[in-house]
Amino acid sequence: MSPSTSDSDGGIIGSVEPIEIQEEMERSFLEYSMSVIVSRALPDARDGLKPVHRRILYSMFAEGLRPDRPHVKCSKVVGDVMGKFHPHGDSAIYEALVRMAQDFSLRHPLIDGHGNFGSPDPDTGAAAARYTECRLTPLALQLMSGIDEDTVDFIPNYDGSEQEPSVLPARFPNLLVNGSQGIAVGMATNIPPHNLEEVVDATIYLIDNPEATPDNLMTFVKGPDFPTGAQILGRAGIIDAYRTGRGSIKMRALAEIEETRTGGHRIVVTQIPYQTSVEQIERKVAELANNRELEGIREVQNDSAGRVNRLVIDLKRDANPNVVLNNLFKLTPMESRFSVNLLAIVDGVPRTLNLVQALRAYIDHQIEVVRRRSEFRLAKARARAHIVEGLLRCIDQLDAVITLIRASDDRQSARSGLMGEPFLFSEIQANHILDMTLGRLTRLGRTELENEILALRETIAFLESLLADDEAVNGVVKSELISVRDEFKNPRRTQIVTDPGDFSDEDLIEDEPRVVILTKSGYIKAMSSDSFRTQARGGKGVQGAKVKDEDVVSEVLHTNSHSYLLFFTNKGKVYRIKTHELGVRERTARGMALVNLLALDADESVATVLDTQTYYPDSFLVFFTRMGLVKKTRLAEYDKSRREGLIALALRDGDELVKVLVVAPDSDILVLTKHGMGIRFAESDVRPVGRSASGVRAIRLRIDDTVVAAIETGTRSEVLMVTGAGFAKRTKVARFSVQTRGGQGVRAIRLTHARGELVAAFATSANDEVIVVASGGTTIRTTVSSIADQGRDATGVKIIELDSTQFVSSVTPVVPIESE
């Protein structure tokens, strides 16, 4: 190296300064990352906007693209923003503009778009900027309100040729209302949109209660309110997000199971989770069905139109719609999560904010906006008052003023004369007088000026008192928030429902009496007990349910909202739900199909429904199977539930559960078979076993015989028996002697080929009624007292006339449903 370019001391070589490459890399990367964080990727907590969105909105405002003006081409807006404020590519600017116009992205769009601005499907983008048009929405003007009154700082643009706002005044908390998403260097933000009314109410509460906690504000802000509606499952993720700034919120599509005209079922999806699309769900469902990863789907049809979503999933006839729906939630975007990361710029630094901190940053900004605006208006009012005072004095000496002006050689001498004796005008007043034409000067009216000065003094006094009173400033902020809320609020779109298996919200549900009605064909509903008026004995009663033709009410349970309903099926499984999960329906409503409520298999039906609020350890359930087995298990064994049900008892091949009884200690049980045999034994003759046990023999069956009914004796004194050929009789329970469990029993009714087999038996009394339905649809309702009381060996009497091709298909006791 030559001496001219070297330093003998090893310092600067020419104009090059040697530095450590590690230090330079760290410094350069930090500068780059901070530029991305602050100037591109993260929103400001005060107005909820990133720089590109702020520049687009301000440029449109400056160009006069207001809601009452015509739309203009988006390409013109993009060009203006790129040329004046945002030194980046046109595609990035246009994408940001498009998002602010999408009503499925923002809860309250800030740009009114005209043309194709895309859809939730990521494969369907917006049309090119030269085809679309835009203008500001009325709510966007609220972000600009007062921007020309020195409410915010203006900074030079990238080349110093223009001035742009560093933040917008923002008269509503846009950060939470519309949310934000962005990826910076080493950090990201993901803020969900919220309901405007809820957020404003929480902001007002925080202004009045500065010590409020996130939990206090959650009484107002229930959770995110996504523009696409759908459901939020549970509140755990919401609570985490609002307390810490981070949380995972489970979203689920709104879907209903409908019965088709042909007796099949279909699933109709009408609302989808945020940031998913009907097309994505449709493609995923079709893929799963084609790959046989999801059984039971016959066809998928997208009936969506415009902004109305409707995806129809037709199911195969043997498919369980509840099971298919649960699999759809599990395997497709019909259920997804929104990971909240409430990260925003506060005082130039990225911070993770909880709900209180996010709204506090906004409130502090609004207080500053109101103060700066008030100071601006105060200075303007004082300046005008000073001029008006000068004009009033000018009127008092108008002739002298005019004479002075006419006698002056130039403006400078006229101004000096007005500022000197005897006028003593200030320089500002003198210049204003000189700026007026002679005609205007001579037409000055004292009354108008005096009225103006009085109004100005009132304004000055009000603004001075406002600036001296923090509570008054808070009041202005609140009143402006209320005006925005009242003008732009709309109902919540996203429902917040209990997460399956999470009943933490039960404390919010009052434990009220309920009447649950189940029909023979599998429809169920819950009603308020107030739906049934108390009647005197012998009254007509009231209609308890609207049922389909040939359907009858099979079970009526008087229970409470917090009680459990246990559904025992013929397959030996038990499903458990809370009564309040059924909702409350009108007295005459039809109810919902059990297949929409329980994950039943195609050939599975409910054999017995029981209700309980407390699982007493000394209470027992007794199970009876078609092959003559009996099992007794503690009720407490069933104090658990799973979506797909629990095994209630182990069944042998070909066996089915017939009946489940809650038995009282020291009571007797009567078991009846289709061949007319019956056995009565003590419940203590059955030893308690575990939940998954199979039981022991209740009655020894002859070839081709099966159990038809099981009755706990003692509650009623008679047994009603009905045969398949339409014959029936009443028999006293006392005519059945107590035997040892496991025997063949005794004859309960004499059967012949003409009378058919025993199809139903109930414990009754003479005042009861029964409904008998034949296979051909014939139905009769008769009183038990009209049926003969006969001995065990009798064959019964005819109660319904049937031809040789018909048989009794259903016998149901008429259960009283009026209030007692």
Of 478, 217, 248, 240, which is closest to residue 356 (Cα–Cα)?
A: 217
Q: In what order do the strands lie in the sheet with 727-732?
A: 758-764, 718-723, 727-732, 797-798
Active-site residue list = 131
pLDDT category at 281 given cuts 50, 70, 90 is: very high
Model pLDDT, residue 815:
58
Cβ atoms 356, 414 nearer than 8 A: no
Task: Please give the domain boundaries of the chain with CATH numbers for all domains.
Answer: 49-169 (3.90.199.10), 254-333 (3.30.1360.40), 361-488 (1.10.268.10), 600-813 (2.120.10.90)
More confident residue, 21 or 23: 21
Q: How open is the CA angle 361-217-239, to the nearest 5 degrees?
A: 100
pLDDT category at 529 given cuts 50, 70, 90 is: low
Distance CA 564, CA 562 (A): 7
Distance CA 342, CA 45 (A): 10
What would the mean pLDDT of 432-437 be, rounded to a whole number? 85
pLDDT at residue 519 tops 90: no
Residue 494 tokens, joined: 């996203």
DSSP three-state, residue 595: helix
Model pLDDT, residue 587:
64
Distance CA 125, CA 120 (A): 9
Q: How open is the CA angle 509-225-351, to the nearest 5 degrees?
A: 110
The region of weakest confidence among 121-125, 605-609, 734-738 is 121-125
Taking the CA atoms of residue 438, residue 439, residue 443 and residue 448 in that order, the dihedral angle to the nearest 10 degrees is -80
More confident residue, 407 or 95: 95
Q: How far, CA to CA in Å, does 470 sit from each of 145, 241, 359, 378, 473?
A: 21, 31, 18, 16, 5
Distance CA 197, CA 489 (A): 5
pLDDT at residue 109 tops 70: yes
Distance CA 437, CA 405 (A): 11
Model pLDDT, residue 602:
79
What would the mean pLDDT of 197-224 be, rounded to a whole number? 95
The region of weakest confidence among 184-188, 256-260, 355-359, 547-551 is 547-551
Model pLDDT, residue 28:
65
What sign for the dihedral angle of Cα 492, 498, 504, 510?
positive
The region of weakest confidence among 66-70, 230-234, 591-595 is 591-595
Model pLDDT, residue 459:
94
What would the mean pLDDT of 371-381 be, rounded to a whole number? 95
Cβ atoms 797, 788 nearer than 8 A: yes
Residue 52 tokens, joined: 């590109």
Model pLDDT, residue 36:
53
pLDDT at residue 618 tops 50: yes
- The string of pLDDT tens digits covering residues 754-790 is 899 999 998 888 778 888 888 777 788 888 888 989 9
DSSP three-state, residue 154: strand
DSSP three-state, residue 394: helix
pLDDT at residue 534 tops 50: no
- Fill in the DSSP letter of residue 276: -
Model pLDDT, residue 770:
85
Q: How far, CA to CA in Å, does 324 sit from each of 231, 253, 267, 492, 599?
A: 19, 14, 9, 29, 9
DSSP three-state, residue 157: coil
Cβ atoms 730, 718 nearer than 8 A: yes
- The string of pLDDT tens digits covering residues 579-609 is 877 777 776 666 778 877 888 887 888 888 8
Q: How far, CA to CA in Å, does 312 sit from each of 315, 331, 618, 629?
A: 10, 17, 49, 45
pLDDT category at 533 given cuts 50, 70, 90 is: very low
Cβ atoms 784, 767 nearer than 8 A: yes
What would the mean pLDDT of 409-424 be, rounded to a whole number? 87
Greatest mean pLDDT among 86-90, 120-124, 719-723 lies in 719-723
Residue 756 tokens, joined: 């058919």
What is the β-pairing status of strands 335-341 and 343-346?
A: unpaired
What proportion of the chain, given as a percentage, has pLDDT over 70? 89
Distance CA 719, CA 722 (A): 10
Q: At CB < 8 A and 24+ separation, what contacts does 297-304 make?
A: 297/324, 302/278, 304/278
pLDDT at residue 538 tops 60: no
Cβ atoms 633, 542 nearer than 8 A: no
Q: Give the phi and the psi of residue 27 in degrees, each rounded to 5.
A: -65, -45
Model pLDDT, residue 819:
39
- The string of pLDDT tens digits covering residues 466-516 is 999 999 999 999 999 999 999 999 999 999 998 864 434 454 466 678 888
pLDDT category at 544 given cuts 50, 70, 90 is: very low
Taking the model in full, what pTM does it have? 0.64
Whether the bond into 422 is cis, omega within 30 of 0: yes
DSSP three-state, residue 470: helix
Of 515, 183, 490, 520, which is closest to residue 350 (Cα–Cα)?
A: 183
pLDDT at residue 279 tops 80: yes
- E strand or H helix at 140, and its extent? helix 138-144
Distance CA 311, CA 723 (A): 48
Q: Cβ-count burial of 116 within 10 angstroms (0-12 exposed, 13-18 middle, 19+ buried)?
A: middle
Model pLDDT, residue 545:
45
Q: Give the phi and the psi of residue 192 in degrees, each rounded to 5.
A: -80, 155
Cβ atoms 813, 773 nearer than 8 A: no
Contacting residues for 201 by C-beta, under 8 A, at least 6 apart: 220, 485
pLDDT category at 642 given cuts 50, 70, 90 is: confident
- Fill in the DSSP letter of residue 619: -
The region of weakest confidence among 6-10, 149-153, 360-364, 395-399 is 6-10
What would the mean pLDDT of 228-235 be, rounded to a whole number? 93
Q: Cβ-count burial of 372 within 10 angstroms (0-12 exposed, 13-18 middle, 19+ buried)?
A: middle
Model pLDDT, residue 37:
59
Distance CA 146, CA 738 (A): 92
Model pLDDT, residue 64:
93
pLDDT at residue 563 tops 70: yes
Contacting residues for 741 by C-beta, under 8 A, at least 6 apart: 630, 679, 681, 685, 686, 696, 697, 698
More confident residue, 535 or 76: 76
CA atoms within 13 A on the CB side of 62: 16
Model pLDDT, residue 38:
59
pLDDT at residue 810 tops 90: no
